[in-house]
Amino acid sequence: MQTTEQIPDGYMRNAVGHLVPEGQVREQDKLRDDLVLCLAARAHELNAELAKFKEQALNDIEDLIQIAAERYDTRIGGRRGNVQLASYDGRYKVQRRIAFTEELEAAKMLINGCITRWSEGANNNIRALIDRAFRTDTQGQIKSAAVLELLRLEIDDAEWQRAMDALRDSIQTVGTAIHVRVYEPSATAASTG
C-alpha cells in the first residue's frame, strides 16, 4: 500500500501500512529496505533515461528516413513500419519495430470476410493481395508497413470499417508499440520497449 503521508521520525511503514518503531524492526529488514529503495530509485532514473533515449532515437531514425525520402523527391507520412539500420562497418544494427496485439487476428478475419463477400465469383488471386499484407518476415514478425497501409484505404463497407477499428486497436499505445533495438550481431542486444 503506497501513501504520500509523511512517516514520523523513528518509524518505518510496513507492507500493510502500519507504522512500526524503528527499534522493533530487525536489522536485516532495514538493510533489505535500504537496498530495495536504492535499487528502485536507480531503476526509475534509468527508466526515465531510456524513455528519453527511445524518443530521441525514434526522432533521429525518422529524420534519416525523411532525408532519404527527400533525396528521391518523395514524401513519407508519419512514423510507420519497421526499419533496420546498420553502421557502415556492419558492427551495429538498430531496428525500429512496431508491435501488434491479438486484435490483429480479429482484423484479419474481418478483412477476409470482406474479401470473400466482394470476390464472389472472382479470381482467387485477390485474396493473395491481403495475405501478402499479413505475411511475416524471416524472423516471424508481421511487416507492419504493409498492414498499416490497409488503414489508408477508404472503403465504404461496415465490415471493413470494423476490421480497420480492430487493426487500429491492435497497434499498442505509443509508449509500447514502437521498439528500438540496438545490437551487435555477434553480441547480446539492448532493447527499449
25 domain-assigned: no
Nearest to 183 by CA among 90, 99, 93, 96: 93
Within 13 Å, how many C-alpha atoms sit on residue 22's CB side?
8
Q: What is the pTM of this model?
A: 0.55
Residue 26 is predicted with a pLDDT of 96
35 domain-assigned: no
56 domain-assigned: no
185 domain-assigned: no
Per residue in 78-129, pLDDT tens? Answer: 556 678 888 998 888 888 877 777 888 888 888 888 888 887 776 666 667 6
Chain mean pLDDT for the chain: 80
Task: Please report which confidence band the pLDDT of residue 27 belongs to, taking 50, 70 and 90 as the band edges.
Answer: very high
Buried-exposed string 114-123: b where 16+ CB fall within 10 A, e elsewhere: bbeeeeeeee
Distance between CA atoms of 68 and 48, rounded to whole angstroms?
Answer: 31
Per residue in 4-21, pLDDT tens? Answer: 679 999 999 999 999 999
Please give the residue range of the domain that contains residue 131.
103-170
58 domain-assigned: no
**Number of domains observed in the structure of the chain:** 1
Q: How far is CA 34 from the centre of its chain?
A: 33
13 domain-assigned: no
In sign, the C-alpha dihedral spanning 166, 169, 172, 177 is positive
Per residue in 36-80, pLDDT tens? Answer: 999 999 999 999 999 899 889 888 888 888 888 788 877 665 556
157 domain-assigned: yes
143 domain-assigned: yes
